[in-house]
Amino acid sequence: MGRIHQLPMSVVNRIAAGEVVERPASVVKELLENALDAAPARIDVALEQGGIGLVRVVDDGGGIEAADLPLAVTAHATSKLRVAEDLERIGTLGFRGEALASIGEVSRLVIRSRIPDGTGATITVDGGNVGDVMPDGCAVGTTVEVHQLFGNVPARRAFLRAAQTEWSHASDAFVRTALAHPGVALSLSHSSSSADKGRRVHDLPATDAWRTRIADLFGPALGDRLIEVEADDGEVSVHGFVGRPEDDMASTRLQYLFVGGRPFRDRSILHAVQEAYRGLLLSGRQPIVFLSFDLPPEAVDVNVHPAKMEVRFREPSRLYRLVLASLRSRFLAGNVTTRLEPPRIDAAPIQVRIPEFEPFTPRATSPESALSSPSERGPSPAWERDEQRQESVVDERAVQMHDRYIVVESGDGIEVIDQHALHERLLYEKLKASVAAGGLEVQPLLVPERLDLDPVALELIGEHAGTLEQAGMRVEPFGGSTVIVTSKPALAGDTPASELVREVLDRLAATSAAGGGAGMLVDEVLHGLACRAAIKAGNRLSQAEVDALVRDRRIVQESHHCPHGRPTSLTLSRQELDRQFRRT
C-alpha cells in the first residue's frame, strides 16, 4: 500500500475554509456576494456579537430550488459558470462554488429559500454534516444564517478577536459591498447577544446616484463636499469622487476602489492618487477616495485571491496614468485650493474642519494624535549631527510654532517654513548628492532588523535589491517570507530600517507598475527614505535643531533640481503686510 491517499471531502472543505473564512467579516462578504448575484431589490444583514454568534443575510432575490439546496452547500458546485472559458468573463461576484461548503464546515449553517414559482425549503449543515432538505414556509428569496462561527474548531475560534473588533471588520465588509451596489437597498443591524434587541446601524435606500449612497453611509457633510472625477481612455474608464485637500484624513480608511461591483485593494492605484495630491496635502495625510473602474472583462483577472480581495489588471500602468491624469486635471480645473496659500486677512476664509468621518465606532483619538507628541519623539534627527560640527552661524532669529512651522525674518518679509517639508527636501538633496558622487555613507546595522513581508513585497525586494543597495539599504532573504535589513544610509538617522523598507516598497511598487526606469526607481527610493527619516509635524525641536534647519535651507534653495512635492516655505512680503495693514 502506498502512503498517498485522496483526502475526504470534509478535510478538503476544512482546508478551503481556512482560505475563504477568516473571520465573521469574510462570512458577511461571501453571503452578501451570493445575495447580490441573485439580483435582489433588498438585502438585510443582522449580526450578533460582531458576527461570532450569528450572521444572518436575508435577500428577496431569485432563490434556490429545493432540489438544489444540497448542491449549494457542496464544494465546487456553482450555478455561475460551467466551462473553464467562463472564467475569462465572469459576470457574477461568486464563481468558485466554495463559500457555502466552507462556511458549513466551520459553523451551523441554515439556508431557507424559495424561488418565485416554487415551494420553500430549508437545509442545515452542522460542522460539515449536511442535513435533509425540509419544506419551509419562507418568502421568495433566500435567508442564510451562520451560527457560532468556528464553534466546532476551537483552534480557529481562539484566533477571533473581541466582538467589538470583529464587528468593526464585519461592518467594514458591509460598507464596502454597499458602496459597490448603490442600486440595492441594504440594511445592517447589530446586537450584542440573542437576548438584546439590537440597533440598526445602516439603512440604505436604493439609489442610482453613487454620491447619495456615499452620503447615506458617511453623512451628508462628506457627500456634499466630494469632488466628482471622470475619465476614459477608450478602453478603461474611471468614475468616482475624491475629497478636497482640506478634508484630508489621518488614515487610508476612506479610500475605496471598485471594479465590476467588486471592492479591491491596489497599492499602485492608490499611489497614483497620492501623486495627484502631491503638493495639496500635508505629508502623512490621506485623501478621501471613491473610485470605480470599468474595463472589458478580459482586461482584469478576478481569480487571483481566494477571498477575491485583489484583482490583476492586464495593463496596470494604464490605470495608474488614467487616475493620475483624471485627478490632476480636475484639480487644475479649479475649485481646489492649497492650504499653503498665504492667508488673506481682509477676507480670511473660515476654516471648515470636517471631522473624521466615522461610520463605525468612534475613535477615542483625534486625527492629530497620530503624530507623536514631543515627549514621544525619538532620538535626535540625523541632521543634528551635522549641526554639531559647525558653529552656530545663524543670523536670522528663527522660532518654531505649533510644533510644525518655523518662522524667520527674511530680507523682505517673513518666511514661514514647513519643518517636515524642508527637512524631507534637505535629506533628499543630501542623499541624492552623495549617491551621485558615489559617496553615500552607509551605516551597517549591528543587529539586523527582521521583516516579514507579503508575497508581493517579497517579490519586489527580490527584483529591486540592487536599487535598494544603491540607496544604502541592504536587504537579504532570510528564509520563507522573512528578510533582514543589514544596512541603511547614515543620513536616515535613527529611523528604524524596517520602516524605511516598507515606505520604499510602497513607492517601488507603484513606480515599477507605472513603468518607471532604473533612474526613476532610485529616485523614488531616495524620496521614500527622506520622507520617512524626516522630522514630522508635531515634533518639538530644540533651538539648535531649528537653527540647523534654517541654516541648511540654502541647500534646497541652491539645488538645481526642479521642486518636487509641496513647497517647503512661503514668504509674506513686507509690502504685502503693509498693504494688508493699510499702511500704503
> Which listed option, ligand ADP, Mg ion, none, makes contact with residue 97 (CB within 5 to 8 Å by class)?
ligand ADP
Q: Does 483 bind ligand ADP (CB under 6 A)?
A: no
- Residue, CB closest to ligand ADP: 94
Q: Binder to ligand ADP among 100, 138, 188, 276 (CB under 6 A)? A: 100
Kindly tell me which of 73 and 214 has the beta carbon lying closer to Mg ion.
73
Strand extents, DSSP E, 127-198: 129-130, 134-135, 141-147, 185-191
- Interaction partner, residue 96 (Mg ion, ligand ADP, none; CB < 5-8 Å by kind): ligand ADP
**63 near ligand ADP (CB under 6 A):** yes
Instruction: Please identify, using beta-carbon distances, which residue of 99 and 184 lies nearer to Mg ion.
Output: 99
Q: Can residue 46 be called a binding residue for ligand ADP (CB under 6 A)?
A: no
Question: Which three-class secondary structure state does DSSP give residue 309?
Answer: coil
Neighbouring CB atoms inside 10 A of 281's CB total: 20
Nearer to ligand ADP, 26 or 78 (CB): 78
Determine if 99 is a binding residue for Mg ion (CB under 5 A): yes
The residue within the footprint of ligand ADP, chosen from 24, 50, 61, 528 (CB under 6 A), is 61
Q: Which of 24, 94, 120, 260 binds Mg ion (CB under 5 A)?
A: 94
**Only segment of 73-81, 345-353, 411-419, 490-498 that touches ligand ADP (CB under 6 A):** 73-81
Task: Considering the complex, state which of residue 20 and residue 492 has its C-beta at the smaller distance from ligand ADP.
Answer: 20
C-alpha cell at 452: 516579514
Of 408-437, binders to ligand ADP (CB under 6 A) are none
Residue 305 as a binder of ligand ADP (CB under 6 A): the answer is no
Question: With contact defined as beta carbons under 8 Å apart, do 199 and 190 qualify?
Answer: yes
Q: At what angle do helices 497-513 and 267-277 cross, to 10 degrees?
A: 90
Grid coordinates representing 316 are 496596470
Q: Site for ligand ADP (CB under 6 A): which residue of 42, 80, 321, 574?
A: 80
How many angstroms separate the CA atoms of 162 and 168, rounded?
Answer: 10
Instruction: Decide: is 306 part of the binding site for ligand ADP (CB under 6 A).
Output: no
Minimum Å distance from CB 156 to ligand ADP? Answer: 19
* Residue with Cβ nearer ligand ADP (13 or 495): 13
Half-sphere exposure of 140 (CA within 13 A, CB side): 12
Task: Please tell me the distance from the alpha carbon of residue 150 to that of residue 23, in angstroms, as a whole number.
Answer: 9
Which of Mg ion, ligand ADP, none does residue 79 bind to, with CB < 5 to 8 Å depending on kind? ligand ADP
Task: Name which of Mg ion, ligand ADP, none residue 538 binds, using a CB cut-off of 5 to 8 Å depending on partner kind.
Answer: none
72 binds ligand ADP (CB under 6 A): yes
Residues 9-38 that bind Mg ion (CB under 5 A): 34
Number of Cα atoms under 13 Å in the Cβ half of residue 285: 23
Considering the rule CB under 6 A, would residue 98 count as an interface residue with ligand ADP? yes
Is residue 97 near ligand ADP by the rule CB under 6 A? Answer: yes
Residue 268 phi, psi (nearest 5): -65, -45
- Cell readout for 362 is 468612534
The angle that helices 455-470 and 497-513 make with each other, rounded to 10 degrees, is 100
Using CB under 6 A, which of 21, 27, 99, 217 touches ligand ADP?
99
From residue 141 to residue 160, the character string flagging contacts with ligand ADP as x (rule: CB under 6 A) and all else as - is: -x------------------
**Closest to Mg ion by CB, 57 or 319:** 57
First-to-last C-alpha distance (Å) of the chain: 102
Q: Which residue has the cell 456553482?
A: 78
Packing angle between helix 419-436 and helix 543-558, nearest 10 degrees?
Answer: 60
Contact status, residue 425 vs residue 556, Cβ threshold 8 Å: yes
Q: Taken in order 385, 391, 393, 398, is the CA torsion positive or negative? A: positive
The residue (of 13 and 467) whose beta carbon lies closer to Mg ion is 13
Instruction: List b or e across 255-267, with b for residues whose CB sees 16 or more CB atoms inside 10 angstroms.
Output: bbbbbbbbbbebb
Q: Which helix (H) or strand (E) holds 443?
A: strand 442-452
Residues at the contact surface with ligand ADP, assessed by CB under 6 A: 30, 34-35, 38, 59, 61-64, 72, 78-80, 94-101, 142
